[in-house]
């Protein structure tokens, strides 16, 4: 009986409350005031979204981090970009993760978005060069060139003209072209001079009557024409005496 009275009382109060709302449309119920301040839990969640970069030793947002799929190591984009660009500048074809003792490679396509275009082109060239067998690679022996050439013909080559500096060299001896010497003779000369390239070149220059450019110090060979020589460095000189060429340089010119 007591329980029925309580239920009746609750139903009556609800009816009165509903009736007052209907009779007074202007009345309203204030919405509850929400606490917009982040809770301690929310603060911990937000803080945990930051990641630590082991290179610059700074905390970064997760979206600022680059993760290598091959090993799951993460570093910030700035540090990864610097790491890769430095390796490219050093001509290192093996692009590995910067984590200590980690040998995992960095994928070219995965790194495209964080690498400058010019560095990306250089990296692509390094990858292409790495696919060429070492037995097919030839390098121009002139120190001011050193261009890489490829012999994929399967034939043994001797005299080759560099496509970059246009100078000839011996592909077998890997030295500037030793005209009037067979490779066997040159090797004997090389051994006799103790492997000293300067002495070998001087011996060749004396035998071939080469002249050294007074400006760039490179040897030139005159095969025909007058004594007026224009070196590849644009310096003009007399092939007979080595003096700077001028219109008044008549003595050597008359002797030619």
Q: Report yes or no on 2 lying in a domain.
A: no
CATH number of residue 65's parent domain:
3.30.40.10
Please check whether residue 102 is in contact with residue 73, taking contact to mean a CB–CB distance below 8 angstroms.
yes
The predicted pLDDT at position 2 comes to: 46
Where among 78, 98, 130 does a domain terminate?
Answer: 130
Burial 52-77 (b: 16+ CB within 10 A, else e): ebeeeeeebeeebbbebeeeebbbbe
238 found inside a domain: yes
Q: Could you tell me if residue 216 is inside a domain?
A: yes
Q: For position 76, what pLDDT does the model report? A: 92
SS3 41: helix
Collect all residues with Cβ–Cβ distance below 8 Å to 229 and sequence separation of at least 6. Answer: 211, 213, 220, 222, 236, 237, 238, 239, 245
Show the low-confidence residues of the chain (pLDDT under 70). 1-48, 190-200, 250-251, 253-256
Please check whether residue 179 lies inside any domain of the structure. no
State the total domains in the chain: 2
- Domain extent, residue 225, equals 210-256
CA pair distance 76, 64, nearest whole angstrom: 6
pLDDT of residue 250: 60
The β-bridge partners of 220 are 211
**CA distance linking residue 249 with residue 226, whole number of Å:** 13
| Inside any domain, residue 31 | no
pLDDT digits (tens, 9 = 90+) for 219-236: 787 777 788 888 878 888
- Supply the pLDDT for residue 36: 40
Query: Residue 251: its pLDDT value, please?
Result: 65
In sign, the C-alpha dihedral spanning 38, 44, 49, 55 is positive
d(CA 234, CA 245): 12
Residue ending a domain, choose from 67, 98, 130 = 130
Per DSSP, helices labelled H in 49-116 are: 77-89
Domain assignment of residue 76, yes or no: yes
241 part of a folded domain: yes
Helix (H) or strand (E) holding 219: strand 219-220
pLDDT given at position 42: 41
Domain finish residue from 82, 114, 130 = 130
224 inside domain: yes
28 in Cβ contact with 51 (< 8 Å): no
The residues that bridge with 138 in the sheet, in sequence order, are 149
């Amino acid at each position: 009986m007591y329980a029925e009275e309580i239920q009746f009382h609750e139903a009556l109060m609800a009816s009165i409350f509903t009736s007052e709302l209907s009779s007074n449309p202007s009345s309203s119920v204030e919405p509850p005031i929400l606490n917009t301040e982040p809770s301690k839990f929310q603060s911990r969640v937000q803080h945990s979204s930051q990641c630590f970069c082991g290179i610059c030793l700074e905390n970064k947002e997760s979206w600022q981090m680059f993760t290598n799929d091959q090993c799951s190591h993460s570093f910030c984009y700035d540090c990864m970009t610097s790491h890769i660009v430095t390796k490219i500048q050093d001509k290192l074809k093996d692009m590995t993760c910067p984590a200590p003792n980690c040998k995992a490679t960095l994928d070219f396509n995965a790194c495209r978005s964080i690498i400058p275009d010019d560095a990306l082109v250089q990296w692509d060239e390094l990858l292409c060069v790495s696919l060429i067998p070492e037995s097919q690679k030839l390098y121009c022996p002139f120190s001011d060139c050193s261009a890489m050439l490829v012999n994929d013909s399967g034939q043994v080559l001797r005299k080759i003209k560099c496509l970059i500096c246009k100078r000839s060299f011996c592909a077998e001896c890997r030295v500037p072209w030793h005209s009037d010497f067979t490779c066997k003779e040159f090797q004997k000369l090389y051994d006799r001079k103790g492997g000293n390239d300067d002495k070998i070149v001087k011996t060749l220059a004396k035998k071939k009557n080469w002249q050294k450019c007074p400006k760039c110090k490179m040897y030139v060979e005159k095969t025909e024409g007058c004594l007026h020589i224009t070196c590849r460095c644009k310096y003009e000189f007399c092939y007979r005496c080595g003096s700077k060429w001028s219109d008044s340089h008549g003595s050597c010119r008359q002797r030619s």
